[in-house]
Amino acid sequence: CGVIWIVLLLLTVLLLYLVGSRLGLGTPFPSQALDNMPPILPESALDVVAELDTPPGNIAVSNTNRIFFNFHPEYHPNPTKIAELLNRTSWVPFPSLEFQKSIITCLSMRIDSNSRLWLLDFVQHGMAGSPTLYAIQLTKTPGQADTHYLNYSFPANVA
């Protein structure tokens, strides 16, 4: 019985050593080779699209150049979680301030080829409810209301 414990102890030590050596044994990651590399493009090649007080999370741009973004859920923004950029310094809750109440932690957004904005609310990794997929049909006409046409909550055994 004592031999089994010694063998298990040695295997545990070996496993810990292998995992530790793979992960660096607690040393910081080495400096990346790109640290001292000059930028590929000059600063003049960049266009500033927005200057926001709060950093955006994901960004999605429609084929009509409408720009949508969310605030990272860990940033704990004001009631607005998803926004549409109006100009360089201002934005509005998207699609409405009322809609923001249904979103808990949206961290994924994409626009498909049919001009639908897809949002995935993972509700704090499923801890605050069922993850929900939303789709909003975007209009091409400024000032015309966008249509929220889908929300699908995933069953607990799926997500």
For the chain, the structural domain boundaries read: 2-29, 43-153
Mean pLDDT for the stretch of residues 8-34: 74
Contact between residue 104 and residue 28 where contact means Cβ atoms under 8 Å apart:
no
Question: What are the tokens at 152?
Answer: 């699908």
85 Cβ partners below 8 Å, 6+ apart? 49, 50, 67, 68, 69, 91
- Look at residue 118 in the predicted model and tell me its pLDDT: 96
- Residue pLDDT, tens place only, 113-149: 999 999 999 887 767 788 899 999 998 766 667 787 7
Check pLDDT > 60 for residue 29.
Answer: no
Average pLDDT, the chain: 83
Mean pLDDT for the stretch of residues 72-87: 81
Percentage of residues of the chain with pLDDT beyond 70: 85
As a whole number of Å, the CA-based R_g of the chain is: 23
Q: Which residue has the tokens 């063998």?
A: 7
Q: How many Cα atoms within 13 Å fall on the side-chain side of residue 3? A: 0
Higher-confidence residue of 84 and 19: namely 84
Claim: this prediction has a pTM higher than 0.95 = no
- Look at residue 115 in the predicted model and tell me its pLDDT: 92
